[in-house]
Structure 1
């Protein structure tokens, strides 16, 4: 019989920005109580449709029913940062400055008191409908060209009052869920936890990237990673501060949505900034620690037990450039890792079932990916034999030290 168990635990604060985290980490474990559980499979959703709860539950049920694994679904920090999973659209202070300037240019005057309420998604939506109608009137009056679009910056406000830290807190969430399960969850009728059970991490796009980050921060805890279209080098435009450079050139997304005369340029809510005078400055050290393909970091990681890596990646990927993934896997192989990269380069590989598109994510069937790769990885992986439970990375002007203590992974910045 399939068993689903839900947990809420405290995980990590934002060690880099010294922000206390108020939200709890939620995760679900699914397993078949008639099977002997040999490993944990973390299925980590990205920022798109695979973060939908029904999709996750159905996939977890399929895997748990057919493989000797416990399936773990982690709602990592800031997972709810897209509208399809509950995020709201609103204006932060930076957005309001752009909005006022663009409206002034077309002769739409907004009361200053309005701007203080635009961090509320309901108020923001009402204002957008008002502006769309005002622009329509101006076009009918020939005050604006028919093809004019009001181009404005907007922010995506995640659920649970969270924000986009990008990578570090999210990877720590996977690891802290794993350590909690090992100590507290037993898949048999015996008490206690399940001990040093191996863990395999699987994901698409950002979910796969988070899996790599977890392996980087605690290689002694991760036995393998199965990846669809992870970025190997940080896509900094996705963090949220691209509008500080050029809001039209560096958004996460740009679309008209339900409006006829407005083009929105969207950015994740973040506390990071490109202002070097700010304590929240996104420095070179913050960038390097988030790069999976960072050769010196890979050399340090290779001193530990080596996770197995399997990746599928399209050479036509404009979000996660293919050449970065090739460089990453060449370096992994040079360092002695069991690392296999499947390049999807030809229309003949688009079968409509497993691979459906030659673009980022390939609209891949994760169920088919699991059928192809999970048993092969389970046959290869072994338990950790590394006693050292900490790792340090020199990252520009800082040292990031990740270490296991009291059944959690902690981070010290030196």
Structure 2
């Protein structure tokens, strides 16, 4: 019988920005209580449809029935950062500046303290009122019928979280794994959790986090299955792109909520491009999140090597450039990893079921990816004898900082130090 269990645990604080985390980490495990489990599959949600809870539950039960694995789905830090999964809109000081400028352009007066727009209720109220004012102006012929006011808006994630991007999210995956290994709710084959095969699978940002988890704790991850993850940091998704150009660097834009207003939505973040701020997203902060860092990949290659399988569209040129992905997998193979990249090159490979288009993500369902790759990876892993690994820490020099990830007290911890001059 399939059993579903939900947990809430304390995970990690934000060591980089010295912010204590208020929210608990939530995750769900699905498994057959009559089976001895050899493989644990983490299905790592990205941004968009695969973050929907009912879809995730369907995936979990499918994989448990078909492959006899335990499935773990983690609501990692800042996962609730899109409207379809509970986020709301607010306006920070940058958004407020653009709002005032746009209203002044067409003669709409604004009154009151704009700082109140940092709350969802006030933002919603003023945008609804502004949308109606724009409709009235169009009806009077004061504005063209096709006029859209272009505004910057901040996404306020659920649980009052924010976009740290990559590091805390990968730690959440590993902390979930360590919790399960320490207290497995299911029967473990051979009664030794060190022999469990751990596979992480995800699409786009979910695939990126699977790669990041393998980077920060390679001794714990046996396989990564990915669709269309980015190898480089997507400037638009971290949240501070609006400091440069809110209409160029943003998470998503839509007229769905306000038909006269095109809102350009950026994640709430405490990172900034202001070099005088302690929260400056420096080169070191960027490098540790960069999957293509040659020095970091060389260090990782000295640890147990996960098996990598990935799919990517050659036409993916903006969100996750295919050239970066090809370079990443070339380097992985040069360092001795079993790394397979399936580059989808043209329309002849679109079958309407597995590959549906050549855009980012190829509209590929996670279920299709599981069907195609999970059993093959499980068979590969069964042929690999797992050797004990006692060095449960890894350090990466990142420009002027050293990031040390280490396992202690059933958690993955992070310590950051300055490099010696």
User: TM-score by structure 2 length?
Assistant: 0.95
In 1, Cα distance between equivalents of 2:188 and 2:330:
45
Query: Once the 2 structures are TM-superposed, how far is the Cα of residue 11 of structure 1 from its aligned partner?
Result: 0.6
1:271-318: per-residue Cα shift (whole Å, max 9, x none)? 000001111000000101101111111001000010000000011113
Query: Once the 2 structures are TM-superposed, how far is the Cα of residue 328 of structure 1 from its aligned partner?
Result: 0.2
Moved more, 278-287 or 129-138: 129-138
In 2, Cα distance between equivalents of 1:365 and 1:152:
33
In 1, Cα distance between equivalents of 2:68 and 2:194:
16
User: TM-score by structure 1 length?
Assistant: 0.96
Do the aligned partners of 1:215 and 1:222 also contact (CA within 8 Å) in 2? yes
Q: Any residues of structure 2 matched to 1:7-406 within 5 Å, and which?
A: 7-113=7-113, 115-188=114-187, 194-317=193-316, 318-381=318-381, 382=384, 383-406=386-409
Moved more, 160-169 or 249-258: 249-258
Query: Once the 2 structures are TM-superposed, how far is the Cα of residue 126 of structure 1 from its aligned partner?
Result: 2.1
Unmatched runs of 5 consecutive residues or more in structure 1: none
Do the aligned partners of 1:168 and 1:290 also contact (CA within 8 Å) in 2? yes
In 2, Cα distance between equivalents of 1:157 and 1:139:
31
1:365-414: per-residue Cα shift (whole Å, max 9, x none)? 22221122111111222435322111111111101110111111000101
Unmatched runs of 5 consecutive residues or more in structure 2: none
Do the aligned partners of 2:78 and 2:163 also contact (CA within 8 Å) in 1? yes
Change (3 A) 1:196 1:17: farther
Moved more, 259-268 or 77-86: 259-268
In 1, Cα distance between equivalents of 2:205 and 2:247:
23
In 2, Cα distance between equivalents of 1:187 and 1:123:
47
In 2, Cα distance between equivalents of 1:353 and 1:143:
49
Do the aligned partners of 1:90 and 1:124 also contact (CA within 8 Å) in 2? yes
What secondary structure, in the 3-state scheme, does the structure 2 residue paired with 1:59 have? helix
In 1, Cα distance between equivalents of 2:182 and 2:141:
69
What secondary structure, in the 3-state scheme, does the structure 1 residue paired with 2:63 have? helix
Change (3 A) 1:18 1:189: closer
Query: Once the 2 structures are TM-superposed, how far is the Cα of residue 189 of structure 1 from its aligned partner?
Result: 8.9
Query: Once the 2 structures are TM-superposed, how far is the Cα of residue 70 of structure 1 from its aligned partner?
Result: 0.8
Moved more, 64-73 or 172-181: 64-73
In 2, Cα distance between equivalents of 1:311 and 1:280:
34
What secondary structure, in the 3-state scheme, does the structure 1 residue paired with 2:403 have? strand
Do the aligned partners of 2:92 and 2:115 also contact (CA within 8 Å) in 1? no
Moved more, 263-272 or 358-367: 358-367
Q: What value does the CA root-mean-square deviation take over the aligned residues?
A: 1.6
What secondary structure, in the 3-state scheme, does the structure 1 residue paired with 2:240 have? coil
In 1, Cα distance between equivalents of 2:142 and 2:375:
65
Query: Once the 2 structures are TM-superposed, how far is the Cα of residue 217 of structure 1 from its aligned partner?
Result: 0.3
Moved more, 23-32 or 116-125: 116-125
